[in-house]
Amino acid sequence: MTLFTKAAVFENYFRKAYTLFNVFLFREVEMRGGKRTGSGRKKKPVHLKRNPVTIRLPQFMILRLKRDGEIGYLIEEQLAKKFRELPEDYDINS
């Protein structure tokens, strides 16, 4: 074989390999993770979104609440028991 034919063979081989690599590369991009339609946690309605609130409590109450569980959820649970009208879609565990 002459140098020209070796170069042509190499170029042809390289072109095929490059094309296969691009096909493989783009196929991989389609299958990789990331945002997909319909996936993930659904957004809560505006009236159920939780907002931080600062309150002052005596130290003994804070220690008791920490011992019993997470302070925010315990206070929310007690307040939910006192409310007469709760939204139908309200769930303490959500």
Per-residue pLDDT of the chain (94 residues; tens, 9 = 90+): 455 577 777 677 767 666 656 655 555 445 566 677 777 788 888 888 888 999 999 999 999 999 999 998 899 989 888 988 888 888 877 6
81 touches 65 (CB < 8 A): no
71 touches 53 (CB < 8 A): no
Q: Can you tell me whether residue 8 is helix, strand or coil?
A: helix
Q: How many CB atoms lie within 10 A of CB 53?
A: 7
CB contact set of 3 (below 8 Å; sequence gap of 6+): none
pLDDT score recorded for residue 2: 52
pLDDT score recorded for residue 43: 85
State how far the Cα of 71 lies from the Cα of 78, in Å rounded to an integer.
11
pLDDT score recorded for residue 58: 95
pLDDT score recorded for residue 56: 94
Domain ranges of the chain: 1-40, 42-94
Q: Can you tell me whether residue 6 is helix, strand or coil?
A: helix
pLDDT score recorded for residue 33: 65
pLDDT score recorded for residue 42: 83
